Amino acid sequence: MITFDNVTKKYKGMSVPALDRVSFTVDAGAICGVVGLSGAGKSTLIRCMTGLERVDSGTISIGGVSISALTGAELRQAQRNLGVVFQHFNLLSQRTALQNVMFPLEVAGVARNEARDRARELLDIVGLGDKLNSYPSKLSGGQQQRVGIARALATSPKVLLCDEFTSALDPINSKSILELIMRLNADLGVTVLIVTHQLSIAEQSCDRLIVIDEGQIVENGPAKDVLESPKSRILRAMVTTLTWS
């Protein structure tokens, strides 16, 4: 479902690439974790997938569409196959929960009534059926992230990308948001990529685990195996000093 083929990305003014010849695949329906230290290139990986950053070489394809080669209207079309959940939620503060979830449908040209029905249904699924008309400022962080997840699912994407999606939440809310993602993965069959520095999240939810260090993949395999016998310097350090919390 997700294929990275020899992807390299170097930011202007940086001496080393943020992603260095990255290749991996994620099967449809899997939950794949990406862990690494701060600055390893995790967010860059997601930004390249969403088209926010252009890659320098290599290709990224999602559901068979090589998104890294697209621009303009074609890119926008392909982006509807991706749902993105953000660390800081990034909800539109001047729109209600319902209107936030309607936003991706509106920009895709879906009729208003249809968009509203779909948004209601999604907010129900994430457990916010009673907060349709609340503005983000009146919702807790956990509730805002639920709106973010409902919004990410609005266009029925095949892939859900989550960058540090629980970092702004307390452990209880993190856990329930993670469980929601796992349920959506099971119910809707959506492929999930979770970027995190919390190994506990990877351990609980991921089928596969990718470890990156300085832009390179240093481990890639079934999550259980990777966590049981960490081979890379970086994961060993993470396992011992512990970012389990």
Partner 1 sequence: MLIRLIWSALLETLLMVGAAGAVSIVLGVLVGAGLVFFSDPALGRNWPVNRYLRLDQVLSAIVNVGRSLPFLVLMVAIIPFTRMIAGTSIGTKAAIVPLTLGAIPFAARVVENSLREVDRGVVEAALVMGASPGQVVFKVMFPEALPSLVLGFTLTLVSLVNFSAMAGAVGGGGLGDLAIRYGYQRFRTDVMAATVAVLIVLVQLMQWGGQALSSTVDRRR
Ligand X SMILES: Nc1ncnc2c1ncn2[C@@H]1O[C@H](COP(=O)(O)OP(=O)(O)OP(=O)(O)O)[C@@H](O)[C@H]1O
Interface with Mg ion by CB under 5 A: which residues? Answer: 43
39 binds ligand X (CB under 6 A): yes
The single residue listed with the structure tokens 């010849």 is: 21
14 binds ligand X (CB under 6 A): yes
38 binds partner 1 (CB under 8 A): no
d(CA 93, CA 120): 18
Pick 31 or 97: Cβ nearer partner 1: 97
Q: Are 25 and 3 in contact (CB under 8 A)?
A: yes
d(CA 180, CA 182): 5
Greatest alpha-carbon span in the chain: 54
22 binds ligand X (CB under 6 A): no
Footprint on residues 178-197 left by ligand X (CB under 6 A)? 197
Pick 4 or 89: Cβ nearer partner 1: 89
Pick 44 or 96: Cβ nearer ligand X: 44
42 binds ligand X (CB under 6 A): yes
Contact residue for ligand X among 38, 113, 241, 245 (CB under 6 A): 38
Q: Could you tell me the smallest distance in angstroms from the CB atom of residue 167 to Mg ion?
A: 9
40 binds ligand X (CB under 6 A): yes
Q: Map residues 62-101 to x or -, x wherever contact with ligand X holds by CB under 6 A.
A: ----------------------------------------
Q: By rule CB under 6 A, what count of residues binds ligand X?
A: 12
The three-state (H, E, C) secondary structure of the chain, written as one string: CEEEEEEEECCCCCCCCCEEEEEEEECCCCEEEEECCCCCCHHHHHHHHHCCCCCCEEEEEECCEEHHHCCHHHHHHHHCCEEEECCCCCCCCCCCHHHHHHHHHHHCCCCHHHHHHHHHHHHHHCCCCCCCCCCHHHCCHHHHHHHHHHHHHCCCCCEEEEECCCCCCCHHHHHHHHHHHHHHHHHHCCEEEEEECCHHHHHHHCCEEEEEECCEEEEEEEHHHHHHCCCCHHHHHHHHHCCCC
Q: Map residues 53-92 to x or -, x wherever contact with partner 1 holds by CB under 8 A.
A: --------------------x--xx-xx-x-x-x-x-xxx
Question: Is the Cα dihedral 185, 157, 125, 136 positive or negative?
Answer: positive
The one segment of 40-48, 67-75, 184-192, 218-226 that binds ligand X by CB under 6 A: 40-48
The one segment of 11-19, 107-115, 130-138, 169-177 that binds ligand X by CB under 6 A: 11-19
43 binds ligand X (CB under 6 A): yes
Footprint on residues 143-172 left by partner 1 (CB under 8 A)? 151, 155
Contact positions toward ligand X, by CB under 6 A? Answer: 11, 14, 18, 36, 38-44, 197
